[in-house]
Amino acid sequence: MKTTGGTSWQIGQVTVTRIEELHGPSFRPEDLFATWDPAVLEEHGHWMSPNFYQQSTNQVIMSVHSWLIRTPQHTILVDTCCGNGKNRPGSPHFHQLNAPYLDRLRSVGVEPEEVDYVLCTHLHVDHVGWNTRLLDGRWVPTFPNAKYVFSREELDFWDPSKNAYLPEEPRNVFTDSVLPVIAAQQDHVVSMTDQLSDTLLIEPTPGHSPGHIMLRLISGQDEGVFIGDVMHHPIQIYRPDWNSQFCMNPEQAVTSRMRVLNDCAERNSLMFPAHFGAPHAGRIRNNGKGFSFDF
Spatial neighbors of 220 by CB under 8 A, at least 6 apart, are 12, 13
The pLDDT score that the predictor gives to residue 129 is 98
Separation in Å, CA 213 to CA 33, 135, 242: 22, 30, 20
- Is residue 259 within 8 Å of residue 207, measured between CB atoms? no
The pLDDT score that the predictor gives to residue 77 is 98
Q: How far apart are CA 120 and CA 269, in angstroms?
A: 20
Spatial neighbors of 286 by CB under 8 A, at least 6 apart, are 261, 262, 265, 266
- Is residue 117 within 8 Å of residue 69, measured between CB atoms? no
For domain 8-22+62-231+268-294, which CATH number applies: 3.40.50.10090, 3.40.50.720, 3.60.15.10, 3.90.650.10? 3.60.15.10
The pLDDT score that the predictor gives to residue 2 is 31
- Is residue 203 within 8 Å of residue 216, measured between CB atoms? yes
- Is residue 217 within 8 Å of residue 199, measured between CB atoms? yes
The pLDDT score that the predictor gives to residue 4 is 33
For residue range 186-222, list pLDDT tens digits in order: 999 999 999 999 999 999 999 999 999 999 999 999 9
Q: How far apart are CA 212 and CA 104, in angstroms?
A: 27
Q: How far apart are CA 249 and CA 247, in angstroms?
A: 6
The pLDDT score that the predictor gives to residue 6 is 60
The pLDDT score that the predictor gives to residue 295 is 86
Q: What share of the chain is helix, strand, coil (3-state, %, to 5)?
A: 25, 30, 45
Q: Which of 242, 232, 240, 154 is nearest to 192 (CA)?
A: 154
Separation in Å, CA 280 to CA 2, 130, 247: 11, 20, 21
The pLDDT score that the predictor gives to residue 181 is 98
pTM: 0.96
- Is residue 181 within 8 Å of residue 143, measured between CB atoms? no
* Beta partners for residue 49, in sequence order: none
Q: In the chain, what are the domain boundaries? A: 8-22+62-231+268-294
pLDDT less than 70: residues of the chain: 1-6
Q: How far apart are CA 73 and CA 199, in angstroms?
A: 11
- Residue 279 — φ and ψ, nearest 5°? -90, 15
Q: Which of 200, 173, 8, 174 is nearest to 118 (CA)?
A: 200
The pLDDT score that the predictor gives to residue 5 is 47
Separation in Å, CA 255 to CA 16, 204, 279, 287: 27, 11, 26, 19
Q: What torsion do the CA atoms of 190, 196, 198, 203 make, to the nearest 10 degrees?
A: -40
